[in-house]
């Protein structure tokens, strides 16, 4: 990693902008930014925000969502966590906490406003962008449509960009209602991932 990128990663890891906001959530937790990128990575996975398990582990997608995402991409854990090959840059680097119904809160906009442009500049050009969820669709594609419509329009962005739904178990129903996702999009995505990683 370049010295400039190392300094940026250290800055993000030390960020406490949202400390008061997180302390006021149902989880009453402290910030723990999860930073996982290195300049020169060929693939960018742009997610939403770490969940509670990732907050504990300090490693992105160490949960069932990560298992599903790796299956979608057709990669094993070693490849997924190789920062020289794959960067994981969420729209917020910290777990935002839960609301009163125990649902994940959305990524605080101040995080992407503060860090995202700088991280993308430090990362440099990537060959493939995998956009996970509505927040990443909005930031990277300017999408203003529903997730289903954005993902259904994936051919307009391939082969460089693939918008995906979030791989959460909560979207299992969505996957059943939209069989084209696994039948049409995923084979093309897996082939592209394999091509980029060769």
- Give the pLDDT confidence of 125-159 residue by residue, as tens digits: 999 999 999 999 999 999 999 999 999 999 999 99
Task: Please give the structure tokens belonging to residue 167.
Answer: 């791989």
Model pLDDT, residue 147: 97
Only one residue has tokens 């008061």, namely 20
Model pLDDT, residue 100: 83
Task: Please give the structure tokens belonging to residue 75.
Answer: 């990669």
Render pLDDT for 153-162 as a digit per residue (tens, 0 to 9): 999 999 999 9
Render pLDDT for 62-72 as a digit per residue (tens, 0 to 9): 999 999 999 99
Say what the pTM is. 0.95
Length reported for the chain: 198
Q: Largest alpha-carbon pair distance within the chain?
A: 47
Domain spans of the chain?
3-197
Q: Does domain 3-197 have CATH number 3.40.470.10?
A: yes
For the chain, list residues with pLDDT below 70. none
Model pLDDT, residue 101: 84
Residue 144: count other Cβ atoms within 10 Å of its Cβ.
9
- Residue 54 CA to residue 94 CA, distance in Å, equals 9
- Residue 133 CA to residue 61 CA, distance in Å, equals 14
């Amino acid at each position: 990693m370049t010295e400039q990128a190392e300094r940026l990663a250290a800055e993000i890891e030390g960020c406490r902008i949202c400390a008061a906001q997180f302390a006021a959530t149902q989880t009453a937790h402290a910030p723990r930014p999860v930073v996982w990128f290195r300049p020169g990575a060929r693939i960018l996975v742009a997610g939403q925000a770490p969940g509670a398990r990732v907050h504990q582990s300090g490693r992105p997608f160490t949960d069932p969502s990560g298992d599903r995402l790796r299956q979608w991409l057709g990669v094993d854990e070693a490849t997924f966590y190789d920062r020289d090959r794959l960067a994981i840059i969420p729209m917020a680097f910290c777990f935002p906490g839960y609301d009163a119904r125990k649902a994940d809160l959305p990524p605080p906009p101040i995080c992407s406003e503060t860090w995202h442009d700088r991280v993308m500049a430090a990362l440099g050009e990537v060959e493939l962008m995998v956009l996970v969820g509505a927040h990443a669709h909005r930031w990277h594609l300017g999408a203003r449509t529903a997730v289903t419509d954005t993902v259904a329009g994936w051919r307009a962005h391939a082969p460089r960009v693939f918008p995906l739904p979030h791989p959460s178990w909560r979207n299992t129903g969505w996957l059943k209602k939209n069989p084209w996702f696994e039948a049409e999009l995923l084979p093309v995505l897996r082939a592209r991932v394999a091509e980029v990683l060769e």
